Amino acid sequence: MASGYLYSRGQSTPNSEIVEIPFQTLPPTRPDTKGQTPEAYDSGAFQSPLLRTSGSPERHHGWGWPRMPRPLRRGAWETVFSLVGDIILLCAWLAVAAFAIGIARSGGVPRSDMLLSENLLSQARIIAPTLFPILFAATVGRCLRLISMYRVEQGERLGVLDQLHGSQSFVGTLITAATLRGATFLTIALIVMWSLSPLGGQASFRSFYWQGNMTETPVTYPYLSINNTNNVVAPTSDRVIRLAQANALFSAVLVGTRESTDSPMDVWGNVKIPSLAAVAKTRQSDAEGWFHIGTDGVDTPAYSSLIGVPVGMGQATNASTRFSFETSYWTLDCPWLGKFGDRLIKNISEVMPYNYSSTGSGISVWTDRHLGIGSEGSSEWPNKPRRVGFRIDDWDSMFIDCNLQTAYVETEVTCQKTTCGANRIRESKQTHPSPNITTLDYEGPPMSPYFLNIIVAVPGRNARPSGLSGYIDKTLFGVPSNEGEGLNKSIADIRGYEALLAQALNTYWLANIGADWIIGQRSGNYSTGAQSAQGETVIFEEATGTIWTEEPIFTYSKAWLSLLFISVLVALGACVANVVLSSYLVRSPHLLMNFTTMARDSPFVQAPPGGSALSDFDRSNMMRHARVRYGDVAAGEPVGHIAIGTIDGRRGGVAPLDKSRMYD
Question: Strand locations in 536-597, DSSP E?
Answer: 540-550, 553-556
Q: Which burial class, exposed, middle or buried, applies to 213 when counting CB atoms under 10 A from its CB (0-12, 13-18, 19+)?
A: middle
Q: Cβ distance 402 to 452 under 8 Å?
A: no
Alpha carbon separation from 73 to 529, 612, 615 (Å, rounded): 88, 12, 9
Could you read off the pLDDT of 156-181 as tens digits, one per residue? Answer: 777 787 788 778 888 888 887 787 77
Question: Strand locations in 48-186, DSSP E?
Answer: 51-52, 109-110
With 70 as the cut, is the pLDDT of residue 263 above it? yes
When mean pLDDT is compared over 94-108, 374-388, 398-412, the highest value belongs to 398-412
CA 213 to chain centre: 17
What phi and psi values does residue 363 have, to the nearest 5 degrees? Answer: -150, 145
The DSSP-derived string for 458-497 is -B-TTSSS-HHHHHHHHHHHSSPPPTTTHHHHHHHTHHHH
With 80 as the cut, is the pLDDT of residue 537 above it? no
Q: Which of 456, 541, 540, 521 is nearest to 242 (CA)?
A: 456
**β partners of residue 339:** 398
What phi and psi values does residue 176 have, to the nearest 5 degrees? Answer: -65, -40
Q: How far apart are CA 213 and CA 211, in angstroms?
A: 6
pLDDT of residue 41: 34
Which range is least confidently modeled, 65-74, 145-154, 159-168, 252-261?
A: 65-74
| Cα within 13 Å of Cα(95), Cβ side | 12
Four-CA torsion 433, 437, 441, 447, nearest 10 degrees? 140
Q: Cβ distance 331 to 277 under 8 Å?
A: yes
Mean pLDDT within 313-330: 84
Q: How far apart are CA 268 and CA 275, in angstroms?
A: 20
Mean pLDDT within 487-514: 87
Question: Could you tell me how many residues make up the chain?
Answer: 664
pLDDT of residue 93: 92
Alpha helices in 207-239 (DSSP H): none
When mean pLDDT is compared over 263-277, 440-454, 593-607, 646-660, the highest value belongs to 263-277
Q: How far apart are CA 318 and CA 416, in angstroms?
A: 8
Q: Cβ distance 413 to 271 under 8 Å?
A: yes
Q: Cβ distance 56 to 45 under 8 Å?
A: no
Could you read off the pLDDT of 419-476 as tens digits, one per residue? Answer: 899 999 999 999 999 999 998 888 777 888 888 888 888 876 556 677 888 888 888 8
* Mode of pairing for the β-strands spanning 4-9 and 208-211: unpaired
Q: How far apart are CA 257 and CA 246, in angstroms?
A: 19
* Global pTM value: 0.61
CA 24 to chain centre: 80
With a CB cutoff of 8 Å and minimum separation 6, the contacts of 512 are 231, 232, 233, 246, 450, 453
Mean pLDDT within 213-226: 87
Q: How far apart are CA 522 and CA 107, in angstroms?
A: 35
With 70 as the cut, is the pLDDT of residue 345 above it? no
Q: What is the mean pLDDT of the chain?
A: 78
> Three-state DSSP class for 21?
strand
Q: Give me the sign of the Cα torsion angle 274, 276, 280, 281.
A: negative
Q: How far apart are CA 321 and CA 314, in angstroms?
A: 12
Mean pLDDT within 356-371: 83
Q: Which of 569, 572, 573, 565 is nearest to 208 (CA)?
A: 565
> Three-state DSSP class for 200?
helix
Alpha carbon separation from 398 to 89, 364, 394, 401, 454 (Å, rounded): 90, 10, 8, 10, 17
Alpha helices in 67-108 (DSSP H): 76-105
With 90 as the cut, is the pLDDT of residue 509 above it? yes
- Cis omega (within 30 of 0) for bond into 459: no
With a CB cutoff of 8 Å and minimum separation 6, the contacts of 301 are 274, 275, 278, 279, 282, 293, 422
What phi and psi values does residue 41 have, to the nearest 5 degrees? Answer: -90, 160
pLDDT of residue 145: 86
- Angle, helices 240-254 vs 447-457, to 10°: value is 60
Q: How many CB atoms lie within 10 A of CB 382?
A: 14
Q: How far apart are CA 492 and CA 595, in angstroms?
A: 105
Q: How many CB atoms lie within 10 A of CB 324?
A: 16
| Residues 460-483: b if buried by 16+ CB within 10 A, e if exposed | bbeebbbbbbbbbbbbbbeebbee
Q: Cβ distance 262 to 302 under 8 Å?
A: no
Q: Cβ distance 620 to 41 under 8 Å?
A: no
Q: Tally DSSP H helices, then E strands, for the chain.
A: 16, 17
